[in-house]
Amino acid sequence: MSPNYIRSFSEGCLRPPTVIGQFHTLFFGSIRMFFLGVLGFAVYGNEALHFSCDPDKREVNLFCYNQFRPITPQVFWALQLVIVLVPGAFFHLYAACKSIKQEDILQKSSYTGFYIFSVFLRIILEVVAFWLQIQLFGFKVNAIYMCDVGALEKKFNITRCMVPEHFEKTIFLIAMYTFTVITVILCVAEIFEISCRRLGFLKTQ
């Protein structure tokens, strides 16, 4: 791929053809990623080390932590961010290969339809991630986790485990839910903006 294609691709990703799309890129690329990268590490970085059960033994702690966290929240949210970026990245890669200028995307119906389809895919992926997050993490992190250690052939099948900084994690969960909702609203608003531009209610850029 030539440098011109790479430049067009990067410009398309950073500067979408709609105003709301540009705001979405700013929100998604700076606020949401910064929140996850910096605060997420501070909240979840040492969780496995401070997760302790009764009896406080390494094998029990490790077994119960893997049961408590089938996937760590940081990994899940990082995968969510990457997957949600894929539809837009494919569109802008297509636009770069076809030498389509950003200002022309909203002028031709086929380009506009393809772009709207990529936004719809973003919405679907965000909704699926929202549902998966509910299934995996719920809305609240409890201070005590009851772990089934029957597979370890312990005397007692259920043991109590202490979850460190559970209140901070609950706040962080709510924040990530909120970010997902905001992103979906921005995607819906972007489709509405495109429709208004196509109908002539707003001037195209």
The DSSP element (H or E) to which 147 belongs, if any, is strand 144-148
| Closest residue by Cα to residue 61 from 154, 132, 142, 123 | 154
Tell me which DSSP letter residue 106 carries: T
Phi, psi of 66 (to 5 degrees): -65, -30
The DSSP secondary structure of 57-112, one letter per residue, reads -HHHHHHHHHHH-SS-HHHHHHHHHHHHHHHHHHHHHHHHHTT--GGGTTTSHHHH
Task: Indicate the range of 45-49, 137-141, 187-191 predicted with least confidence.
Answer: 45-49
Residue 97 has pLDDT above 60, yes or no: yes
Region 36-50 average pLDDT: 79
Encode pLDDT of 102-151 as tens digits: 777 778 788 888 889 999 999 999 999 999 999 998 899 899 998 888 77
Q: Parse the chain into domains and list their residue ranges.
A: 20-204
Encode pLDDT of 3-20 as tens digits: 555 666 555 555 677 788
CA distance 137 to 13: 31
Amino acid at 80: Q
Token pair of 176 as six digits: 């990530």
Token pair of 87 as six digits: 């539809």
Homologous superfamily in CATH for domain 20-204: Gap junction channel protein cysteine-rich domain (1.20.1440.80)
